[in-house]
Amino acid sequence: MHRRELLKMIAATTGTALIGGNVALAYSNEGTAGGEVLSADDVELLDAVAEAILPRTDTPGASDAKVAEFMQVFVRDCYTSAEQDRFLSGPVDIRERCQQQYGRAFPQLEDAERSELIEALDQEARTLLEGSDEGTPDIDAPGDVHYFTMIKQLTLFGFFTSEVGATEALRYVAVPGSYDGCAPYEEGEPAWAT
Amino acid sequence: MADNHYDAIVVGSGISGGWAAKELTEKGLKVLLLERGRNIEHIKDYQNAQKEAWDYPHRDVPTQRMKDEYPVLSRDYPLNESTQGMWVNEQESPYVEEKRFDWFRGYHVGGRSLMWGRHSYRWSDLDFEANQREGVAIDWPIRYADLAPWYDYVEGFAGISGTREGLDVLPDGQFLPPIPLNCVEEDVAERIKQAFDGERRLINSRVANITQPKPEQQRTNCQYRNKCWLGCPFGAYFSTQSATLPAAVATGNLTLRPHSIVTQVLYDKDRQRATGVEVLDAETNETYEYTANVIFLNASSFNSTWILMNSATDVWPGGLGSSSGELGHNVMDHHFRAGASGDVDGYLDRYYFGRRPAGFYIPRFRNVGGEQRDYLRGFGYQGSASREGWDRDIAELNHGADFKRALSQPGSWTIGMTGFGEMLPYHDNRIYLDTQTTDKWGLPVLAMSVDLRDNERAMRKDMMQDAVEMFEAAGIQNVKAEEGDYGPGMGIHEMGTARMGHDSATSVLNAHNQVWDAPNVFVTDGACMTSSSCVNPSLTYMALTARAADFAVNELKRGNL
C-alpha cells in the first residue's frame, strides 16, 4: 500500500492522519535516539488496552499480533519527542483513572469496566479532534491531540499490518497471479489486507 | 584501440540511458555505459521484493532518523522502509533551494526506471504544436509524425498495456491487453461518456506492465502483487534491469561501469567536437578519461545539464551548450494533487481479486478543438475506485469484537482521481551552478529557482472543478474537491534546461537532440523537452532516444560526427 493512501485512510478511523507518519512535520522533527521510551510496564498495559480495542474472537486479536511491542518500536523511532511525550502521558493517565474509578489496575478490570473506560477515552479523543482545525492538529500545541488517538491508531495499524491480522483477520494472497475487477462478494467475507 | 576508447559513451543508466545503450550496442557500436551510483543486479539485488508489510519493523513508515537523513525525500511518499537505498543519499549529494524544489533522485544502475510510475502515453500534435500556436517559448523542431514510428518501436519492446481508443489527443499505440478496470470504474466510464457526449472519456491507464509474457526477454506477465517499486522478480514492468540492459549485454558490445561520476565532457574546440568524458571514481576519488566518437547524456534532466555546465568552460563560461543563453532554463514539472473523490452507492456484492499496478486515466479535454479557458494547455486525470478497508470510520462502534469484525470486512466503494497538469516553460524558472556549495566529492552543486505561475494556478481550479463535475454527473455521492501539497519537482517529472529547437540562438539541442555546439553530443533525457504536455514523459524519452541513436549511427557511418 502506498503510504500516501495509508495516511489518508487512517484519517477516517481516528480523525487525523497517522501521527509519526506525518510528512508535514518533516521540517521540524527532533527525534530522540537511543534507549526505549516505553517501559515494560507500559507495554504490558498497552497490550491489554489494545486487546480491548481489537480482542481475540474467532480470529486472533491485538495481543496475538504483539501490537504493544510494535508500539514500543514505532513510538521510539517514528515519533518526535513532542509526540512521544504526548503518547507517554497515556499509560500514566490510564493507570490513574483505573485507580480512581475502579480501585484496580486496567488488567484487573471487568470487561464492562474496560469497555466503559475505552468508550470514555474514545469520546474524549474525538471531541478534541472535532474542535481542532479540520483534523490537522498541531502536535506541539498542548491538548490538541489526545493520547488515545495515538494508541488507537497504532493498535489498528499494528494489528491489520501484522502477519496474523493480515492473513487471519483479513485475507492475503502473496502472488495473486491474475486480476478480476468484478469478483463476487458475499457479506461476511474478510477484506483483502492490502 | 586503446583501453579507454569506445565507439560511444552513454552517461546514465535510467530509462533513456538504458535505451541509448541498447540501441547503440545493437547497431554494433562498442559502448561504455557510465553510472554514478552502485550496481543493482536484476532480481538478485531486489532485497525487499519478497518482503511483506509485517517484515518491516515500522511497517514501511519512515523513522525520525530517516527523516533527518532524507529531508527532501521526507516531503512525500518515497521515503519509506521498503525502498530505502534506492534514492540518492542526500547528505552526500546536496543541492541548494533558492526556492523550494523537491528533487527525488535515484543514483544507481537503473536509476528511476526501477521506481517509476510506469504510465506511458504518447504525445500528440496538440502538444508539439502548442508553443508555436500560442507564441510560448519556442517551437518544437519535431512533430508527432517524426516520433510516431519510434513510439511504435519502443512500445513493442518495452511492453505497454492499454486499450485502443481512437482519440486525437492521446494517440493509440502498440498495446498488450489492458489491465482491466473494475466494475465500478467501467460503469463510471460509461456514465461520463454519456454525460459529456464522448468528449470526456475514462479509459484504462496505459502502463509499462506486461499482460502477456515476453519469453524472448525472459519476462513474465504481471502477477498483480503491486510491489513494482521494490524491483520485480518477474521482470513484469519495464526497467533498465528487466529490459534494455540485458539486451545491451547480450550484444557483447557493452561495458558497464558503476561508481562513475562524469565531471565533464571533454571538448576539442578546433574540431568543435567532444572527444570523451572525464570520470571521477566515486569510490576511489581517482580521475579517468574515456574517449569516444559519440556521447549520449542521459544522466537525468538536471544532471545532464550539470555536466554541460561544467564542460568546455574555457570556450563558454556557462558551459557547453550555453551559447544560446538557455542552458539551465525553462524548468518544467507536472503539477498534480488537485482533483476530487467521492462515495459510490451499491456494488456491495462485488469486490476484486489481485492488486493492480494501475487504475484509470482520463485524457485531456480542456483547450481542445478551439476551446479557450482562462489558461493555456490542459491536464489528464489518474485515479481508481476501490472498497474501503480497515482504516474507515464505523458509525457507533469504536472498540471490541463487533468493531473488529466490521473493520475486517470491506467497506463501501469510493472513487478518487488527481489531475496531472502541463506546466509552461518559463525562461526564469531555472537551475544554475552554486560554486559555494559542494558535494561529498568537492563538486559544485545545482541551485533551483522554480515557481508555479498564474497559468498553473488557474488550471488547478479546473482540475478540481472538472473532477467534481464529472463525478457528480456519474452519480457519485458526497463528491469533494481535493487539493494536496504540491511543490515544483514533486511530480518527479522534471523536464527542460537543455531544450530542443530550430536554431542555435534559442535552443541547446537541434531536432536530433545534438548539442548545437558539439554535434557528437546527444542529450535525450528530460533535459531536451521544449514543452511538457500533461502526460507522463518517460515513453517520449524512450522514443526520442531510440530515434537519436539511429540518427547518430547513420551520421557516424557518413563520417559526419
Query: ipTM for the complex?
Result: 0.94
Between positions 378 and 437 of B, the ones with CB within 8 A of A are: 387-394, 398-401, 403-405, 407-411
How many Å apart are CA B187 and CA B190, to the nearest integer?
Answer: 5
What are the φ and ψ backbone dihedral angles of B444, each rounded to 5 degrees?
Answer: -65, 150
Q: Give CA angle at A52 (A48, A54), nearest 5°.
A: 110
Residue whose C-alpha is closest to residue A158's, from A22, A26, A16, A47? A47
Name every chain A residue with its beta carbon within 8 A of the beta carbon of B115.
none
Q: Which positions in chain B touch A9 (Cβ < 8 Å)? A: 388-389, 391-392
pLDDT for res B551? 98
What CA–CA distance (Å, rounded) separates A44 from A21?
24
Amino acid letter at B118? R
Distance CA B217, CA A87 (A): 52
Residues from chain A that touch B62, judged by Cβ atoms under 8 A, are 21, 78
Give CA torsion, residues B88, B89, B91, B97, to 10 deg.
20
**Cell 482545525 belongs to which residue?**
A133
- List the domain boundaries for chain B: 5-118+226-332+428-451+491-557
Least CB–CB distance from B352: residue in A18, A183, A194: A183
Distance CA B8, CA B2 (A): 14
* Among B451, B535, B439, B469, CA closest to B171: B535
Beta bridge partners of B415: B342, B385
SS3 B431: strand
d(CA A17, CA A132): 13
Q: Please check the confidence at residue A137 and state whether its pLDDT lies above 90.
A: no
The CATH fold assigned to B5-118+226-332+428-451+491-557 is FAD/NAD(P)-binding domain (3.50.50)
**pLDDT tens figures, B185-239:** 999 999 999 999 999 999 999 999 999 999 999 999 999 999 999 999 999 999 9
In this complex, do A55 and B401 lie within 8 Å of one another by their Cβ atoms?
yes
Contact B388 A180 (CB under 8 A): no
Rounded mean pLDDT of chain B? 97
Of A14-23, A32-41, B125-134, B502-511, give the lowest mean pLDDT range.
A14-23
Determine the pLDDT at residue A31: 42
CA B314 to chain centre: 34
Please report, for residues B194, B204, B371, B474, the alpha-carbon distance to residue B201 in angstroms, rounded to integers and kept in the order given: 9, 10, 17, 12
Mean pLDDT to the nearest integer, B538-555: 98
pTM of the model: 0.95
Residue B199, CB half-sphere, CA atoms under 13 Å: how many? 11
pLDDT at A7 over 50: no
Contacts of B71 (CB under 8 A, 6+ apart): A26, A27, B90
